[in-house]
Structure 1
């Protein structure tokens, strides 16, 4: 890998000449030009954040993450695991079928100067795995031109979806984005996975002299295989733990409390008499287990004290807490919080079943016609009919997403 340093050269300053896959991975966040709705009442939630990671050598998207909350250290940790680990399990949970072989350990992460990219967990985790951190000069978005162009191009595709806000504040009132919003966060994530995995990766790219990102990945990996994690069964978990958000807690007589949830492990019996302080790492998507540090590189898995509790996410926990506080609850117990989450899940389940039932009653009689002809068009097809095809090979003017 060689970075072009001469600003008077024919190549724009900040560009990279990168020969091998994952030599340089650019990461950036942007707020999508789209309003998403909640799962229950289909009411507008707001514009989700999109975190993208692009391999400079092949222009492949090696990972993305979408969420309503502003990107933070947990977002970066989850994004890194998607870069390094195979995407089969993630795609399966998402319910998307597409070929996405791009993964492995990056040599360099090329980042802007946002706070979540300067955290201690990221720096120490990258040092542990030999990943170099490289930061763009402040106020010079062209130093991240590859991912800037991809962000802009994906947003042009998003503009064909229901609930799009457009790229400019002008005319947003006339677009009635909130009234037309129809996609949940999960559905938007599914659409993005199909857009990237089935369309973008197989579209000719000007920066690759007409080759496709998927084709370039296959060609380069044949001569320069990417570095993967070891085959040890616990290697993926150990990698994740180095980047997960952390908290410090004291072991009490009844265990350890985090996010109003009590956790217990037999080893706490020896620690609770001395008010033992511990470092706790947690996975925002699954709070049913946390990881307590017992040595420099060793963690133990700690489960709920009450094993009857269902696994929940940090976002569900926060939503339940907000709901209880809005009802005037000043003291919130673990029982109240889980009861609220279970009620919300039941409402979502009933609403989804009612929606499916209504849709079935609205379908006309088939009389031997294939069911696929009677169902609404795929979201991707709808997007096709509303927008002109996007040429991913065309240059896109960079825009400064570092201002937020």
Structure 2
């Protein structure tokens, strides 16, 4: 597009073996055997086998990145991120981006312990309907500790599987069974927690602050404080000059003091205080104020992210281009009059960008306005390889950038509401919401400026306001169909944007930067089952019966579910639906029953339950709902009332093969959990699928009758004089003794009924 910029040849941008970078708390399960990563040497991972709570200290297994990729493709390997650190998962919070990954497991548990005490105290203090609202006084803290110590002991035991260590041994006092805080300690924790804006970082250990930091004599400190200010002078003195000035000033003081009371200060003490001066004030004094302003005024460089997928920014944008809602082949066959009737729309584009490499890793286009149904597929695409999708769109370069991001930064709008937050949490992704300022997500905003350049090349471009648009008929001049624009955007991202030198990368391309960062290793991508659980639609409080669980008239059952039913009884469970394939659901195992189901390991939290007889296999949620007349009538009624119900995502307009859409995780629906709740509440679905398959007759019965009676209810008495019809299975049934019907009286004798 810009002739002066030299682009990389897209044909050379091909993917290679993915490099992995596992954390010290990750668990790798290979063919049922658990491993813990000990270290990585170049492209090889040194693994330690783990059996239960025992780690093989003297035995190691080495797996290269190529071998790990092969195990993942063959589905012989599962990666459980952060499995060996229960505390780290508990400390994940919605708006808290405290980085505690460098702490040990013991320190993480201590942070969780202090945080839980503070949260419970503040909840009790804010509960206006409670029987007692504690205040932050020593007496109230003591009473709160006395009432909640046993509950906290039980919480810690249930969470980590062991009790807190006993309290310290103090002379004349009984040692505590576990180290619950004293009232002054709890009051101090609350002050720290509130002063730190209720962030977990408030309880980070401050070992570096230990020791006496005020060993310098106060008279020497006063002299140093005066002399070091002279360092920020237009005379530009050196640090050695300041040290000599301090020494001369202390000599004048020592002349008036006895020998044993002389005051001294080392050169290092003086230099430390010089380094502690405000750099801006030092440069303003030694140079001038204009120099300092030019040096320290921010230029929009943004955050410094050094790891691939360390931070992914997501946002949505209404495309500045009107597109045609019709397939390309049909549009070409329409007459001019018919083309005028085709609706036009401005699509909603949701993008996710890796801040370290500037590569686009998340992508979704929708003909509807942004919602959680459009942002969740974009987040899911961050963790899916999109190379096949790029090839289907006509791109030459590879689009293999994917993986589990460490942080996802979004705004606080409704498109990133509760469902998006739940999906990110289930995918083990920390979500942060910066201040309500687009500049706090400047990386993704800068990419949208590139997209605006693309829109200028096509007819049907939208403008910012009516004055700028003038007499330009944007909707009437729309020339691209939805499918054509979808493929154009993919080719633009993969073959142009990724291969174009980027100013924010000092002239390197996003593709080249990604390949450079990838050599250090990438975080593991979730498995297909983990993605289905994270991004599926949750159905809460579903009953289990002998027929299994039911959804939209489809029954799901398995041997493991039957065993769970025997443990649960009338209790209800949560079920997660995979909208792209109703051939199976995921049933969440309640915490108290994990490890009690035969054949299901304790660390497995969900049961994969197939549909009975494969009834729902290959069916999507959208087509199943729209096949029901009651749903279609309900959608029309809601639309007539001004309440739009979105079900189908109209992905057939993309002109992509179905297998390509599935492998690229392109959603076929735009249904939210709230919408599905509304449909299920209003529409009565009837029917229940049987556990067994239906057996049809091999031959049609002869004659026009209803067929031959093969059984008569034993509760129904036959009229006198009427002979019962013989059974087709035993023609000589009359000569055999007849069984006693339950319809008659029952006794314990061998005689006939009286």
Shorter-chain TM-score bucket reads 0.5 to 0.7
Q: Is the 8 Å Cα contact of residues 575 and 587 (structure 2) preserved in structure 1?
A: yes
Query: What number of residue pairs does the alignment pair up?
Result: 323
CA distance in 2, matches of 1:327, 1:188: 28
Q: Does 1:143 align with 2:437?
A: no
Partner of 1:88: 387
Partner of 1:99: 398
Partner of 1:225: 521
Q: Is the 8 Å Cα contact of residues 111 and 134 (structure 1) preserved in structure 2?
A: yes
Q: Is the 8 Å Cα contact of residues 246 and 281 (structure 1) preserved in structure 2?
A: yes
Partner of 1:157: 454
Q: Does 1:288 align with 2:582?
A: yes
Structure of greater Rg = 2
CA 312–243 in structure 1, closer or farther in 2 if over 3 Å, else same: closer
Q: Does 1:70 align with 2:378?
A: no
Q: Is the 8 Å Cα contact of residues 35 and 181 (structure 1) preserved in structure 2?
A: yes
TM-score when scaled to structure 1? 0.65
CA distance in 1, matches of 2:98, 2:304: 5
CA 319–143 in structure 1, closer or farther in 2 if over 3 Å, else same: farther
1:279 to 552, 557, 574: 574
CA distance in 2, matches of 1:147, 1:266: 45
CA distance in 2, matches of 1:203, 1:83: 21
Q: Is the 8 Å Cα contact of residues 86 and 103 (structure 1) preserved in structure 2?
A: yes
Q: Is the 8 Å Cα contact of residues 556 and 585 (structure 2) preserved in structure 1?
A: no
Partner of 2:71: none
Partner of 1:390: none
CA distance in 2, matches of 1:156, 1:245: 37
Q: Is the 8 Å Cα contact of residues 262 and 305 (structure 1) preserved in structure 2?
A: no
CA 209–326 in structure 1, closer or farther in 2 if over 3 Å, else same: same
SS of 1:34's equivalent in the other structure is: strand
CA distance in 1, matches of 2:589, 2:538: 15
How far off its partner does 1:83 sit? 1.1
How far off its partner does 1:82 sit? 1.5
Partner of 1:20: 307
TM-score when scaled to structure 2? 0.37
CA 183–206 in structure 1, closer or farther in 2 if over 3 Å, else same: same
Structure 1: gaps (5+ residues): 331-340, 353-404
How far off its partner does 1:184 sit? 3.5
Q: Is the 8 Å Cα contact of residues 347 and 365 (structure 2) preserved in structure 1?
A: yes
Q: Is the 8 Å Cα contact of residues 325 and 345 (structure 2) preserved in structure 1?
A: no
How far off its partner does 1:159 sit? 2.8
1:196-211 aligned at under 5 Å gives the runs 196-211=493-508
SS of 1:33's equivalent in the other structure is: strand
How far off its partner does 1:17 sit? 1.0
Q: Does 1:238 align with 2:530?
A: yes
CA 313–171 in structure 1, closer or farther in 2 if over 3 Å, else same: farther
How far off its partner does 1:311 sit? 3.0
How far off its partner does 1:289 sit? 3.7
Q: Is the 8 Å Cα contact of residues 51 and 66 (structure 1) preserved in structure 2?
A: yes
Q: Does 1:266 align with 2:563?
A: no
CA distance in 2, matches of 1:17, 1:184: 40
SS of 2:498's equivalent in the other structure is: helix
Q: Is the 8 Å Cα contact of residues 317 and 348 (structure 2) preserved in structure 1?
A: yes
Q: Over residues 26-74 of structure 1, what are the superposed CA-to-partner deviations in whole Å (9 max), with x where a residue is unaligned?
A: 1111111122322367522521111101111111111211112333334
Q: Does 1:134 align with 2:134?
A: no
CA distance in 2, matches of 1:37, 1:322: 30
CA distance in 2, matches of 1:287, 1:248: 19
Partner of 2:91: none
CA 329–166 in structure 1, closer or farther in 2 if over 3 Å, else same: closer
Q: Does 1:47 align with 2:346?
A: yes
How far off its partner does 1:85 sit? 2.4
Q: Is the 8 Å Cα contact of residues 555 and 612 (structure 2) preserved in structure 1?
A: yes
SS of 1:204's equivalent in the other structure is: coil
CA distance in 2, matches of 1:20, 1:315: 41
Partner of 1:248: 540
Partner of 1:393: none
CA distance in 2, matches of 1:319, 1:160: 41
Partner of 2:509: 212
CA 29–106 in structure 1, closer or farther in 2 if over 3 Å, else same: same
Q: Is the 8 Å Cα contact of residues 66 and 189 (structure 1) preserved in structure 2?
A: yes
Q: Over residues 207-260 of structure 1, what are the superposed CA-to-partner deviations in whole Å (9 max), with x where a residue is unaligned?
A: 1111111111122222x2221237xxxx232134223332336458887665xx
CA 312–172 in structure 1, closer or farther in 2 if over 3 Å, else same: farther
Between 146-155 and 300-309, report the one with greater CA deviation. Answer: 300-309
CA distance in 2, matches of 1:199, 1:319: 42
Q: Over residues 118-149 of structure 1, what are the superposed CA-to-partner deviations in whole Å (9 max), with x where a residue is unaligned?
A: 426635743763x32221202x1111111111
How far off its partner does 1:156 sit? 2.2
CA distance in 1, matches of 2:584, 2:305: 39
